[in-house]
Amino acid sequence: MTSVSSQRKPVALVIGSGFGGLAAAIRLGARGYAVKVLERLDAPGGRAYQHKIDGFTFDAGPTIVTAPFLFEELWALCGKKMSDDVQLREMKPYYKIRFSDGQVFTYQGDRAAMREEVERFSPGEGKNFDAFMAMSEQIYRIGFEKLGDEPFNSILDMVRIAPDLLRLQGYRSVYGLVSQFFRNERLRNIFSYHPLLIGGDPFRVSSIYCLIAFLEKSFGVHSAIGGTGALARGLAKLIEGQGGEIRYGADVKRIVVESGRAVGVELVTGERLRADIVVSNADSAYTYRTLIPPHHRKTWTDARLQRQKYSMGLFVWYFGTNRRYDDIGHHTILMGPRYKSLLADIFRRKVLAEDFSLYLHRPTATDPSVAPKGCDTFYVLSPVPNLQGGQEWTLEAEGYRKRIESWLEENILPNLSKHIVASRVTTPLDFRDRLNAIHGEGFGLEPILTQSAAFRPHNMSEDIANLFLVGAGVHPGAGLPGVLSSARVLDKVAPDASAFL
C-alpha cells in the first residue's frame, strides 16, 4: 500500500464529496487529521453536482437551502465567514404552490401573510395555521435541536427518546398530523408535502418531519448565488485551505478491513491508500453491499439491505430557454390532480403514472448569472418509482420528458418547445450509475420510523472499527440540514486525531 500514514498527522479518508462528505472532511481537518477526500466524479457536490451546458448552469439536485447556520459553522471552523466565498439570498416568497386548476398558494416566512393566505384558501382556518406552527416548533425543539446531531448507537437510545416521540405523536404520519390541524384538503397538501424534499412519503414518514415548517420560518429559505454548486465549491476550497486534498476521478472499489478495523481503501485502479479512519459518504446501502465484503458485516447483511425500503426515484429535466419567463418564480410546486394515490403509485405500487406532480426551478428569477443574457435556466423534477419499479428508462425517458414539456407548455410556459436551447435528462439510472444509489433512489433509505435514528445504519459502523458513515443514508437523514448534521454526529462518535498519536 502507498503509505500516507508516514505523514505526521493521522489520516482520514473520506469517500465521496457530497455535502455530508465535505462537511465531515472540514470537521476532521479541524480536529487534526490529514484529510483526503476521494470522489469518483470530476467535481464536488454529489447530488449537488452542477451541469454546465452552453452558458447555462444547472444545479443537479438541491436548490432550497435551509438552516444556513449549519454551513456558517463550517466556515467558522476554518476561521472564515461564509460570505467570504458564497452569497446566500433569502427567497421572498419561499415558493408558490400551484394546483391543477390554477389556484396558487404563496408560501412565505411572514406569519401574518401566511395566516391571510390560509384564510383565503379556507376561511376560518387562520388560527389552525398558528396552532400547526406551534406544534411544528415543539417538534423542532426536540427533533432538530435535541436529537438532530445525537448519535443513535443502540436501541437503548430509542427507548430514551420514546416519551418525546409519544408526546409529539411521532407515531403519526406527517399527513396524519397535519390533518389534525387543517380541514381543507389543499391546506393538508401544502403543509404535508415537505418530506418529499428528503425522499419521504408524507403518508408514511414520521410526523417528526413537521419540524421543517418551523425550521424554514425561523431561518428562511435561501439559495446561493451561482447555484448550490457554489456552496459545494466553497466547502471544497475550505478543505484545501486546511491542507486537505480532494482527489477527483478516484473511484473506491473497496474499504480494506484488517482484524475488524478499517485501515484504508482500494481504488478501482488497484491503488491502495492507508488510513487511520475511513468515512464513507457514499450511500449507506451501497457502502455496505459493495465496498465491504459480506464476511465483515454481521449487521448490514445483503439480506437485510434487500429488505430495507428505499426512497423514491427522480426524473429531472434540465433545460435552458432563449427567452425569459418572468412570471415564474424561483421555486414552484405544481400539484397534480392526485395526491395520496399518486404517492402510492410512486412509493408502493412503483408504477409510472400518467399524471404527475412537479417541482419547477427557475434560478434566473433571482440570479441571472446562471444563464446567458436574456435566457432562463430551469429544471423540472418529477418524483417517480425507484428502479425496483422495473421501468425501462432508456426507452421511457424521452416520452416522459415530452409529456412534461407539453404540460408545461400548455399550462405555464407558453411556446416552450420553440425556445429550448439546452437540454439534459436525469433518470433513476443515472442515480444508480453516476452516484451509486443501488436502486437508483434519490435520497437513500426511505425515512420511515423503522428506518430512522438507531434503526438506520449508524454513523459509527456497527461491525467495523474506525469506519464511519455520513450523508443521507445515515442518521438523521437526507436533505442539506440532515447530511450536514450527520457530520456533526461524526464529531461525537469519531476520536480526535490525537487518539492515534
Ligand X SMILES: Cc1cc2nc3c(=O)[nH]c(=O)nc-3n(C[C@H](O)[C@H](O)[C@H](O)COP(=O)(O)OP(=O)(O)OC[C@H]3O[C@@H](n4cnc5c(N)ncnc54)[C@H](O)[C@@H]3O)c2cc1C
The CA-atom distances, in angstroms, between 164 and each of 142, 168, 182, 371 are 8, 6, 23, 47
Closest distance between ligand X and the C-beta of residue 488, in Å?
Answer: 13
Closest distance between ligand X and the C-beta of residue 47, in Å?
Answer: 3
d(CA 153, CA 160): 12
Largest CA distance in the chain: 70
Burial of 17 (0-12, 13-18, 19+ CB in 10 A): buried
Tell whether residue 15 is a contact of ligand X (CB under 6 A): yes
Strand order in the sheet with 34-39: 245-248, 34-39, 11-15, 277-280, 467-469
Tell whether residue 333 is a contact of ligand X (CB under 6 A): no
Tell whether residue 479 is a contact of ligand X (CB under 6 A): yes
Nearer to ligand X, 65 or 165 (CB): 65
Nearer to ligand X, 74 or 381 (CB): 381
DSSP code at position 369: G
Nearest residue to 497 (alpha-carbon basis) of 2, 16, 28, 116:
28
Near ligand X by CB under 6 A: residue from 64, 370, 422, 448 = 64
DSSP letter string, 381-447: EEEE--GGG---HHHHHHHHHHHHHHHHHHHTSTTHHHHEEEEEEE-HHHHHHTT--TT--SSSB--
Single out the segment in contact with ligand X by CB under 6 A; choices: 165-173, 235-243, 362-370, 474-482. Answer: 474-482
* Interaction mask 159-198, ligand X, x per CB under 6 A: --------------------------------------x-
Near ligand X by CB under 6 A: residue from 212, 215, 279, 282 = 282
Near ligand X by CB under 6 A: residue from 263, 404, 480, 497 = 480
d(CA 171, CA 194): 17
Nearer to ligand X, 175 or 359 (CB): 359
Tell whether residue 41 is a contact of ligand X (CB under 6 A): yes
Nearer to ligand X, 161 or 472 (CB): 472
Near ligand X by CB under 6 A: residue from 19, 33, 152, 288 = 19
Nearer to ligand X, 133 or 480 (CB): 480
> What residues numbered 349-388 form the site for ligand X, per CB under 6 A?
381
Nearest residue to 306 (alpha-carbon basis) of 199, 435, 205, 439:
439
Tell whether residue 346 is a contact of ligand X (CB under 6 A): no
Taking a C-beta distance cutoff of 8 angstroms, is the pair 12, 475 a contact? no
Tell whether residue 16 is a contact of ligand X (CB under 6 A): yes
Looking at the DSSP assignment, which residues form a beta bridge with residue 78?
none
The residue number with the shortest CB distance to ligand X is 18
Nearer to ligand X, 39 or 345 (CB): 39
Residue 492: helix, strand or coil by DSSP?
A: helix
Near ligand X by CB under 6 A: residue from 11, 26, 48, 212 = 48
Tell whether residue 474 is a contact of ligand X (CB under 6 A): no
d(CA 341, CA 210): 21
Closest distance between ligand X and the C-beta of residue 425, in Å?
Answer: 12
Closest distance between ligand X and the C-beta of residue 223, in Å?
Answer: 9
Closest distance between ligand X and the C-beta of residue 235, in Å?
Answer: 11
Query: Grid coordinates representing 99?
Result: 394546483
Closest distance between ligand X and the C-beta of residue 414, in Å?
Answer: 26
Which residues make Cβ contacts (< 8 Å) with residue 303, sequence separation at least 6?
none
Single out the segment in contact with ligand X by CB under 6 A; choices: 71-79, 341-349, 436-444, 460-468. Answer: 436-444
Near ligand X by CB under 6 A: residue from 114, 168, 334, 483 = 483
CB half-sphere exposure, 256, CA atoms < 13 A: 16
d(CA 299, CA 487): 22
Near ligand X by CB under 6 A: residue from 211, 443, 447, 461 = 443
Near ligand X by CB under 6 A: residue from 255, 316, 387, 408 = 316
Nearer to ligand X, 165 or 250 (CB): 250
Sign, CA torsion 401/405/406/411? positive
Give the angle subtended at the CA of 432 by the CAs of 431 and 437, to the nearest 5°.
Answer: 85
d(CA 362, CA 379): 7
Closest distance between ligand X and the C-beta of residue 361, in Å?
Answer: 8
Closest distance between ligand X and the C-beta of residue 180, in Å?
Answer: 26
Give the angle subtended at the CA of 270 by the CAs of 266 and 273, to the nearest 5°.
Answer: 40
Tell whether residue 47 is a contact of ligand X (CB under 6 A): yes
Near ligand X by CB under 6 A: residue from 133, 212, 435, 438 = 435
Nearest residue to 363 (alpha-carbon basis) of 226, 221, 234:
226
* Interaction mask 222-251, ligand X, x per CB under 6 A: -----------------------------x
Single out the segment in contact with ligand X by CB under 6 A; choices: 40-48, 127-135, 343-351, 414-422. Answer: 40-48
Strand bridging mode 376-384 / 313-321? antiparallel
Binding interface with ligand X (CB under 6 A): 15-21, 38-41, 46-48, 61-64, 197, 251-252, 281-282, 314, 316, 381, 435-436, 442-443, 471-472, 478-480, 483
